[in-house]
Amino acid sequence: MKILIVGSGGREHALAWKAAQSPLVTEVLVAPGNAGTAREPGVRNVPVEATDIDGLIAIVRDLSIDLTIVGPEAPLVAGIVDRFAALGLTCLGPTAAAARLEGSKSFAKEFLARHRIPTARHETFTDVVAAARYLKDHPGAHVVKADGLASGKGVVVADEEETALTAATSMLNGEFGDAGRRIVIEERLIGVEASFIVLADGLDYVAFPTSEDHKRRDDGDRGPNTGGMGAFSPASAVDAALEAVIRARIIEPTLRGLKDDGHHYRGFLYAGLMLTADGPKVLEFNCRFGDPETQPIMMRLQSDLVALTHAAATGRLGAATLEIDPRPALCVVLAAPGYPAAPRTGDPIGGLDAADPACRVFHAGTRDQDGQVVSSGGRVLGITSLGATLEEARGHVYRRLQGITLDGALYRRDIGRRPYGARP
């Protein structure tokens, strides 16, 4: 089988690395990929952007690709799966209609409410005066969210009315373009976050191991929100009993709700959860794998990723199960200076070739420039390792980071260690 992975981040490098290990696979292509996927044995980059659906269709036809796996949300929300299906091409992911679970927060909240799936209370607004009145009438901490896709930047957690109103006003006035012309204001939930990702084929699904992301840029969960500065698996606060609750109260009702609404949901479904004193609640859905959660999860996955994804994409997932390495895995993201607001790019990266069997260096924002790997995005690398314990995996990763050079690079020193904040 020939596989095409769409995207260019750390998630796509980890998916390509894993797919290339499948005995079913002759070649893995990545569009457009990065310097890491270019160097990965059995993997080749093709110069087509992830949002160029016509270009991707041309590649799939020219190279007789058997299965396309989409990494980022934008092509899914734009309808890549519908376009492929109309041409008889196999592409794993939800249709554009089902991808609205990620593409529109008001759609997701309305879906959750209608199907009685636990989530924060919310209201939707298109008008500043109505939003201001709501905030005045409902004292307390709120979260203000742009309705559409805003690369993880369209969410403001506000303890005070004034902060919430400032965020609501600037979103409704066009800070995120059309993505913020409609906003959701919801109650702020308190607890520990966890990511729960499944591969679904209608009502059938397999659950990947749980994971925990670190969204703030700086140590101690401070600084601006980012796409994610590091992740580990399993999540610290989810035991087998809680996992059963998450499946029964969140994942299964979501898949049933999608079916009842006329969607056969195929692909990855990512529930971002807050584990509260009242049980797990949905913060958001993503219709794709998480980044950087993919990196530690792929290190733990022992099953054949291609067999699984091909089965889901062709309606044959059935009662598949997953083999998971019991050892925990951890990933630390190395980011460019200026991330997330204005990352500097074009700097040389050194130390990538050091032999270190304990770690995998997944590339994200990297490219080749005259034989030298240089930075090309905000998140540059994701150093990932398995360990007998989480501490051991951390030790491997932070030791490997010492040998990597990128001028002004930043990374968190506390991935996998959360002494701050409350744990339930």
Which residues of the shown chain bind ligand GLY in the complex (CB under 6 A)?
213, 227-228, 286, 290-291, 293
Residue 95 or 286: which CB sits closer to ligand GLY?
286
Residue 120 touches which of ligand AMP, ligand GLY, none (Cβ within 5-8 Å per kind): ligand AMP
What is the layout of strands, in order, in the sheet containing 122-125?
Answer: 122-125, 183-187, 142-146, 155-158
Residue 40 or 213: which CB sits closer to ligand GLY?
213
Query: Should residue 73 be labelled a site residue for ligand AMP when binding is judged by CB under 6 A?
Result: no
Residue 291 touches which of ligand AMP, ligand GLY, none (Cβ within 5-8 Å per kind): ligand GLY
Query: Should residue 284 be labelled a site residue for ligand AMP when binding is judged by CB under 6 A?
Result: yes
In contact, 77 and 149? CB cutoff 8 Å: yes
Query: Should residue 193 be labelled a site residue for ligand AMP when binding is judged by CB under 6 A?
Result: yes
Q: What is the CA radius of gyration of the chain?
A: 21
Q: Which of 19, 92, 135, 155 contacts ligand AMP by CB under 6 A?
A: 155
Residue 193 or 347: which CB sits closer to ligand AMP?
193
Q: Which of 15, 197, 283, 311 contacts ligand AMP by CB under 6 A?
A: 283
- Per CB under 6 A, the segment of 187-195, 316-324, 373-381, 394-402 that binds ligand AMP is 187-195
Residue 16 or 282: which CB sits closer to ligand AMP?
282
Q: Please give the angle made by the CA atoms of 81, 95 and 23, to the nearest 5 degrees.
A: 50
Residue 188 touches which of ligand AMP, ligand GLY, none (Cβ within 5-8 Å per kind): ligand AMP
Query: Should residue 327 be labelled a site residue for ligand AMP when binding is judged by CB under 6 A?
Result: no
Matching residue, tokens 């690398």: 381
Residue 214 or 367: which CB sits closer to ligand GLY?
214
Residue 293 or 304: which CB sits closer to ligand GLY?
293
Number of residues that bind ligand AMP (CB under 6 A): 14
Residue 8 touches which of ligand AMP, ligand GLY, none (Cβ within 5-8 Å per kind): none
Window 120-139: contact mask with ligand AMP (x via CB under 6 A): x-------------------
d(CA 400, CA 357): 10
Q: Which residue is nearest to ligand AMP (CB)?
A: 284
Query: Should residue 249 be labelled a site residue for ligand AMP when binding is judged by CB under 6 A?
Result: no
Which residues of the shown chain bind ligand AMP in the complex (CB under 6 A)? 120, 143, 145, 155, 157, 186, 188-189, 193, 215, 272, 274, 283-284
